[in-house]
Chain A
Amino acid sequence: MENASKSPLANEPLLRIEGVSKIYDGHIKAVDQVTLNVASGEIFALLGGSGCGKSTLLRMLAGFETPSQGRIYLGGTDITELPAYQRPINMMFQSYALFPHLSVSDNIAFGLRRDGMAKEAIAERVEAMLKLVQLSQYAKRKPHQLSGGQQQRVALARSIAKQPKLLLLDEPLGALDKKLRVSTQIELVNIIEEVGVTCVLVTHDQEEAMTMATRMAVMSAGSFLQVGSPKAIYQQPNSRQVADFIGSVNIFDGPVKENHTNYVLVQCADALLRVPHSQPCQDGMGVGVAIRPEKMALSRKKPSAKVNHVAGVVVEMAYFGAHTSYHVKLASGKVLQVQVQSHADEDNADLCWGDQVYASWADNAMVLLTQ
């Protein structure tokens, strides 16, 4: 999460997307009025569910699709109409798209040869790339003679060999199994940072986006719901959809009962909540209050405060080592998810199925969702 501080503040962004839309067949709005700046050195993630338009946006950056509206600028020059083969942008494909008839080193050299680079220079660069992705001893192999993880690294080497100004990654780890994926995320970020290339990556895995990206955008139905650092989006989601999409969350619904300058009282079915909030709300307006499971505490004793706690019954619990996850059923029938650190106070150490408990949380654990 401390990645957030790394994003540099350049004056002219490396990539500028201005009001870009893509409409297929006259009515399918795959991408809808997207505007975005990506600064040099950033790793920017596009996160969203299936069919939200991530790949379409990425393909417009690569030059495989032309926007129906809007412009795309790279380093200040308009590249909207530039064909893919003239853009200083390279892409790593989801299924890798390695050329099956070429060896690993020929795959990596492919783009360099198109540039008419000298033979020795190509050999040198290919060697450096192989070393970077630790595949030097596999140079002569064909892609089908490599494991999935090795193929992924060849694809990465091939896409950065030309030293592009912008690297596009479409679900870079999508084809790997879960265990390999987690270790590869870090490795990939290390390589990208070593090369120093700016990245736009597409993923539908929120953990992947959070670990890899310095900044990210949550997409839905072709447009951006929220853009920000992973930390900001996790802690301050601006809508119910974003809160739901990023991590697990408990959302209480209810009307605004009282509206004060720096907090509102929300009357939910199970409790009265006092939510710090500086934006104006109207009385009676229906809102949601989001609380992350790990920000809640469980106790057998009733908390002394009048607000910001609920009573319920433990209906499910699972021990994960570092933490224990509880499902608490409230009077309204709503089931809360609560995550308790294992070394937390002894009061809840022996909680069991069917126990009557109180869940409580700090004021700043709540986020008011007005949309």
Chain B
Amino acid sequence: MNSTALKWFGRSWMLLVYAFLFLPIFTLVAYSFNDSQLVTVWSHASLRWYKALMHDRDLIAAVMLSLKIAFLSALVSVFFGLFSAFALHRYRRFTGRGLLSSLASTPLVMPDVIVGLSLLLMLVSVQQALGYPERGLFTILLGHALLGTAYATVVVRSRLTEMDSKLEEAAMDLGCRPWQVFTLVTLPLLMPALLSAFLLTFTLSFDDVVLSSFLSGPGYSTMPMVIFSRARLGLNPSINALATVTIVVVSVVVFASTLYSLRQARQRKRDMALAQRE
């Protein structure tokens, strides 16, 4: 095979991969503007399904519930992730360190179905014994926070590992008590990691369907659960509209954050070059 043929082969292969990745999304977006009731037949462009979406109380309630759970579980996950990562990083020897370390990472490798099932069994027996908790928002939140804490721990811990431990020593040397070292130096330096842990756990919770299905009760359906159950009854084009809205929101957020960090990196590079020249 000569080099031009190879080049063309490479290009078409790349095109194929991109098509495979993005064609379904484009189709979905396109059909969300389709007037037809049938998902597979194009009639003409309209915003009919967006209007339908706005009046779909169930779906909107599901979205709100999902956002609420995602936000709260991300907060809880980052909070506990921060402290478990800090404990694992800082204290090299304490009773139960090995246990905490493996417990913190178990949910990462355990299939969601197993985690969901075991949580459900536990919650059912607790409820039988104490009459609490009723399955609903709280129990879903519990499951998501459990999973999220594991992820947040990993993210924060890796940042702690690459952080210069001399900075904490310098703070102590300059008169910081241990808790001041944490609040004045460690925490500000961990901010970017906490933010990315938050975004990660937020999305994890937002698109989870397995854990939610196990842990939710009547009247508490998250957005992915509603989409999933409707898809089984036959696709409804207003789901396409919802998906399109989600895609747009996510793209804007990702694009903005990428742009921001790129500009930060470039500014930093320029500053450093300038400082060296002086």
Spell out A's residues near B (CB within 8 Å): 62-64, 83-85, 89-91, 93, 95, 97-101, 110-111, 114-115, 142, 144-147, 150, 158, 162
Distance in angstroms from A104 CB to nearest chain B CB is 12
Closest to B169 in A: A64
A110 near B268: Cβ-Cβ < 8 Å? no
- Of B169, B189, B275, which one neighbours A146 at CB under 8 angstroms? B275
Q: Is B39 an interface residue (CB 8 A)?
A: no
Q: Given A89-B173, A100-B189, A144-B275, 10 other A-B contacts at CB below 8 A?
A: A63-B172, A85-B173, A85-B175, A90-B174, A95-B166, A97-B167, A100-B167, A114-B174, A144-B271, A145-B272
Residue-wise, chain B 237-278 has the 8 Å CB interface mask toward A (1 for contact) of 000000000000000000000000000000010011011101
Residues on the B chain within 8 Å of A89, using CB: 173
Closest to B167 in A: A97
Cα–Cα, bound, A85→B182 (Å): 14
A99 near B167: Cβ-Cβ < 8 Å? yes
Q: Which of B148-181 contact A (CB under 8 A)?
A: 164, 166-167, 169-177, 180
Task: Please name 30 pairs of A and B residues whose Cβ atoms are closer than 8 Å in the assembled complex, sorted by A.
Answer: A63-B172, A64-B169, A84-B173, A85-B176, A85-B177, A89-B173, A91-B170, A93-B170, A97-B166, A97-B167, A99-B167, A99-B171, A99-B185, A101-B188, A110-B171, A110-B174, A110-B184, A111-B175, A114-B175, A114-B180, A142-B271, A144-B268, A144-B272, A145-B271, A145-B272, A146-B275, A147-B278, A150-B275, A150-B278, A158-B174
Q: Is the interface of B mostly helix, strand, loop or mixed?
A: helix
Residues on the B chain within 8 Å of A158, using CB: 174
Cα–Cα, bound, A341→B80 (Å): 70
Cα–Cα, bound, A83→B278 (Å): 40
Cα–Cα, bound, A174→B139 (Å): 56
Cα–Cα, bound, A158→B272 (Å): 21
B189 near A101: Cβ-Cβ < 8 Å? yes
Residues on the A chain within 8 Å of B172, using CB: 63-64, 83-85
Q: A99-B185, A114-B176, A115-B175 given as contacts; is B275 within 8 A of A84 (CB)?
A: no
Cα–Cα, bound, A93→B188 (Å): 21
Cα–Cα, bound, A84→B172 (Å): 6
Cα–Cα, bound, A332→B170 (Å): 55
Residues on the B chain within 8 Å of A114, using CB: 174-176, 180
A95 near B189: Cβ-Cβ < 8 Å? no
B272 near A111: Cβ-Cβ < 8 Å? no
Residues on the A chain within 8 Å of B177, using CB: 85
B276 near A147: Cβ-Cβ < 8 Å? yes
Residues on the A chain within 8 Å of B276, using CB: 147
Cα–Cα, bound, A62→B167 (Å): 14
Q: A95-B164, A101-B189 given as contacts; is B170 within 8 A of A145 (CB)?
A: no
Residues on the A chain within 8 Å of B167, using CB: 97, 99-100
Residues on the B chain within 8 Å of A142, using CB: 271
Residues on the B chain within 8 Å of A150, using CB: 275, 278
Q: Considering the complex of A and B, which 7 residue pairs feature the smallest CB-CB distances, nearest first?
A: A114-B175, A111-B174, A97-B166, A97-B170, A145-B271, A84-B172, A101-B188
B275 near A147: Cβ-Cβ < 8 Å? yes
Residues on the A chain within 8 Å of B275, using CB: 144-147, 150
B174 near A93: Cβ-Cβ < 8 Å? no
Distance in angstroms from A72 CB to nearest chain B CB is 16
Cα–Cα, bound, A110→B275 (Å): 23
Cα–Cα, bound, A111→B184 (Å): 12
Residues on the A chain within 8 Å of B278, using CB: 147, 150
